[in-house]
Amino acid sequence: MTIGISGYGVYIPKLRIKKEEYAKAWGSFSAAGVNEKSVMGFDEDVLTSAVKVSRRALESVPLTPDRISRFALASTSAPYVEKLLSGTILVSVGMSNTAFSSDHTTSTRAGTEAIIAGFEHVLANPGGKALVAAADAPKASMWDSIEHQLGAGAAAFVLSSDNLIAELEGHASYASEYFGERFKPRDDSLIHDINVKKFSEGSLITNTTRAGNALMKKLNRKPEEYQHVVIQQPDARVPATVGARMNFTDIQLAAGLVSKVLGDLGAASVPVALTAVLDAAKVGDRIMVISYGSGAGSDALSFKVVGERKAIPRFQAEADKKEYIDYVKYLKIKGAIL
Amino acid sequence: MAHVSIPMYWRTIPQRYKLVGQKCKKCGHINFPPKGVCKYCNVSSEFEEIQLSGSGKVHTFVLISAGGAPPEFADQEKAGGQYPVAIVELDEGPKVIGQMADVDPKEVKIGMPVKTELRRIYTEEDVIRYGFKFVPVTEGK
């Protein structure tokens, strides 16, 4: 059975802060290649953003919410550590209460984790339809340099076996044991990080390249057979570093490099970048997607574009809609001065 | 507004999360928020649930500034500044009160088209109270 993506939606909160604001406040900005980043408003969070992109993804098919038999949410910054998160979205969007839902929350790999879970449902239930929403606005202490990169955004996908715009060709994963990089102890709501770039990069490169290479081997592919490649974006330099190891070029990475203007979108990084690529892709194009989550693991997915249909609003329209804030307002919204 | 208990808030989820209203079986008017007795005919308490579109137009509005916000919205006002509260006439007829979001307070005008979106309204007893706010229709889609 052929399965894939039959609709998608994206949302970028309109508030933005420029790297110059950080430079003014701290003397430097530590997110490589990021020029500005998106910020959620005071009355927004992961759940309200997930509701918004879920509706957009359904409209893009179009599909009524009662047709969804599987819902999966991905985020590393949900407002509750314990409490079903999917329920809020299920009820607000109007999906069936009998749809099976799951929350994926423990690493930035959660986005692809939820997408693969959605595909497994569709594969096991012919006629089944999965809605997967990834929304994130990760938070760290303002004293921690990892805070500089953190942005906000959301994307959702309708996965099914009909009306496809992109076919799933296959997926592969790689997981291993790493620690110290980007973690949250049970009793803390902020990200911790040992800030040893080379160590973190080692984990990221190992997991992403092994997942990616495993998939290419499985599909018997060469790097040049892909028009678009999406790689996890903690900053705007990482994709090129990983890409170089896998013989992917900057041209293949260009359409999906959203972190330049949005920052690190956590579990929504790869999903949001994938919406930008779907907007740009032509029928026949191949897309490689590789996520990464600290701890550590990566998922790789390969798609072939089979439909011209695009979602509204486009990624670019969302990225262009912005209102700049200064660093003090940013701290107030984030609740950083306690 | 002040204190709304968790069970009381929970009972209003259909109206707050997705605008479920009621159509009076006797006079046909649409009540929102839902009532015990129809506010139009003052007779019937027989209703049919109806899904409202969430679209409407600003009927009138007020801007809440420093010191004017109720306690549950004080932090929001301090962090984000002045915010508009509007009475919106929904396409289906009812006039509904709600905050406006994603709009410059100076840009709010009577008659401007708006639609509802789920937002965080406030937090009490450590429970986030979600509900609808009105956003301009021109903002994205």
Q: What is the CATH number of the domain that holds A233?
A: 3.40.47.10
What is the pairing mode between strands A228-231 and A286-290?
parallel
Nearest residue in chain A measured CA to CA from B51 = A94
For B57, counting Cβ atoms within 10 Å of its Cβ (0-12 exposed, 13-18 middle, 19+ buried), the class is: middle
Residues A291-313: pLDDT tens digits?
Answer: 999 999 999 999 999 999 999 99
Quick one: tokens of A38?
Answer: 């998106």
Cβ–Cβ below 8 Å for B120 and A94: no
- Provide the percentage of residues in chain A whose pLDDT is more than 70: 99
Cα separation, A37 vs A139, in Å, equals 13
State the complex-level ipTM.
0.92
Nearest to B79 among A11, A79, A333 (CB): A333
Nearest to B76 among A43, A91, A329 (CB): A43
Quick one: tokens of A1?
Answer: 């059975």
- Specify the pTM: 0.96
The packing angle between helices A86-93 and A46-60, to 10°, is 40
Q: State how far Cα A47 lies from the chain centre.
A: 15
Identify the DSSP state of B29: P
Residue A23 has pLDDT above 50, yes or no: yes
Strand order of the sheet with strand B20-24?
B30-31, B20-24, B47-51
Cβ–Cβ below 8 Å for B76 and A42: yes
Contacts of A273 (CB under 8 A, 6+ apart): A230, A233, A256, A257, A258, A259
Which top CATH class is B54-141? mainly beta
Convert A212-225 to b/e letters by CB count within 10 Å (16 or more is b).
bbbbbeebebebee
CA distance B1 to chain A (A): 18
Cα separation, A256 vs A240, in Å, equals 12
Q: How far, CA to CA in Å, does A252 sit from each of A201, A224, B92, B132?
A: 21, 9, 49, 41
Residue A13 has pLDDT above 90, yes or no: yes
The structural domain count of chain A equals 1
The domain spans of chain B are 54-141
What is the pairing mode between strands A286-290 and A36-39?
unpaired
Cα separation, B51 vs B19, in Å, equals 6
Identify the DSSP state of B110: T
Residue A337 has pLDDT above 80, yes or no: no
Cα separation, B102 vs B80, in Å, equals 11
Averaged confidence pLDDT in chain A = 96
Q: Which domain holds residue A44?
A: 1-338
Please say whether the beta carbons of A38 and A44 come within 8 A: no
- Provide the percentage of residues in chain A whose pLDDT is more than 90: 96
Please say whether the beta carbons of A102 and A117 come within 8 A: yes
| Per-residue confidence (pLDDT) for residue A195, from 0 to 100 | 87
- Name the stretches of chain B with pLDDT < 70: 1-2, 139-141
Cβ–Cβ below 8 Å for A45 and B141: no
Residues forming a β-bridge with B135? B115
Tell me which residues of chain A have a C-beta less than 8 Å from any C-beta of chain B.
11, 14, 41-45, 47-48, 51-52, 56, 79, 88, 91-94, 312-313, 317-318, 321, 329, 332-333, 335
pLDDT band at A338 (very low <50, low <70, confident <90, very high): low
Nearest residue in chain A measured CA to CA from B10 = A88
Mean pLDDT across A143-163: 97
Residue A130 is which amino acid? Answer: A
Q: What is the dihedral of CA A305, A307, A311, A317, to 10 degrees?
A: 60
Residues A170-205: pLDDT tens digits?
Answer: 999 999 999 999 999 999 999 999 988 889 999 999
Cα separation, A212 vs A7, in Å, equals 24
| B26 in A contact zone (CB under 8 Å) | no
| Per-residue confidence (pLDDT) for residue B55, from 0 to 100 | 97
| Per-residue confidence (pLDDT) for residue A313, from 0 to 100 | 96
| Per-residue confidence (pLDDT) for residue B1, from 0 to 100 | 52
